[in-house]
Amino acid sequence: MTVLLPLSHLINYLLFAFLAGHIALKFVSEEKKPKTAVPKPALLLSALGIMICTFMPVLEVIRYFADNSGFTSVLLSVITDFQVGRAFLATGFSGALLWLTIQLRGSKYLEAFWMLIMIAAQGYASHVASLSFWTGFASHSVHFLMISLWGGILLHISFFAKGEKNWQAFLRWFTPFAILSLVLIISSGLVLMFKIVEPREYFMSWALPYGQMLLLKHISIIPVLAIAFINGFLAKKAEREKAFNPVSWVKAETILLLAVFSFTAVMGTLSPPHDPDITVTTEGASKWASFLIGKEIAVPISVHLNISYQGVFLFLISFLFLAMIMESFRKKASALLGLLFGLCFIASIYFGIMLDITF
């Protein structure tokens, strides 16, 4: 389950984004989006896949308690008494009805309704909702909804678009939508983060596997913003050059969002650092962080800045990579090159940070 659980989280995020993007684009008129062709079996399998992936956290809880009682009694207890179990029931019921609605080509409003119930179930099952129900439920649901819509629309447009028509009209409305999504994602994300990690303990959390994933998630958002900024300019370029097809840069943004999904998926399987000192004592520090700083991390955790030539060099290189993303677009280079620079930025600034701190 060590690999299977985070993998199921990642697949779950992708399937939610895939379905959310498909449903959202149904509400956009044909002249304001490129034509997309999505196989119906892919939509039906996505709905089934969400139900399977949502059961994986339930199975993990069952495995934890199964030694003390029989499987059936533990299963019934987890499904009826635990938030993650109730969320699975809501997701499974809504997912089955969504599957039926897609199969029978039902109303797009009905599809959207079932999708919103499924997303709300994810918010209900979140760790933050168990700490502060309404705040956690609302912020996680909004966070999950907006990143699913943003990533899902990009996924469909970049990989399922047919032809070069309507790119200008699409980018004209999608750019402000992406900005709104980003504002809601960041604001709800800050609420979620500070419910789990106290602001003064944010840097201390880097000593833990959860904190490492949180740091990588935050870093990986920066190149996403850079390419999203570029894609905002594509709207104007598409107006000037009617034959211009910006799909390659949209694909680059989609793939970098996949990196954000990946770090988030792993975070969902790790113990949140409500108190880093206690978490290190009970579960141990991040072995990877210990390896990078060259010593064992012990309590009480105290983070110090330890500037090194290597760290400063990597910081400078990282900002050079960020500048090269912009330059590759200005010079009309391949978007693949921009994507590579984005991944290099994530790696260089991460290692630069880790080399310049000590616990």
pLDDT tens, position by position, 288-319: 888 888 888 888 888 888 888 888 999 999 99
- Extract the runs of DSSP E, i.e. beta strands, from the chain: 35-36, 161-162, 304-305, 357-358
User: What letters, b where the CB count within 10 A reaches 16 and e where it falls short, cover 276-291?
Assistant: bbebbeeeebbeebbe
pLDDT of residue 138: 94
Of residues 240 and 327, more confidence is placed in: 327
pLDDT of residue 240: 61
pLDDT at 1 over 60: no
Are 255 and 339 within 8 A, CB to CB? yes
Residues 202, 207, 211: CA angle, nearest 5 degrees: 50
Over the stretch 146-155, which tens digit does the pLDDT of each residue have?
Answer: 999 999 999 9
How do 161-162 and 304-305 pair as beta strands?
Answer: unpaired
Measured distance CA(225)–CA(92) in Å, rounded: 34
Measured distance CA(357)–CA(359) in Å, rounded: 7
Residue of 17, 8, 87 whose CA lies nearest to 52: 8
pLDDT at 89 over 70: yes
Over the stretch 347-357, which tens digit does the pLDDT of each residue have?
Answer: 999 999 998 88
pLDDT of residue 242: 56
Neighbouring residues of 222: CB distance < 8 A, sequence distance ≥ 6: 322, 345, 346, 349
Which DSSP category does 301 fall into?
P
Q: What is the mean pLDDT of residues 231-258?
A: 71
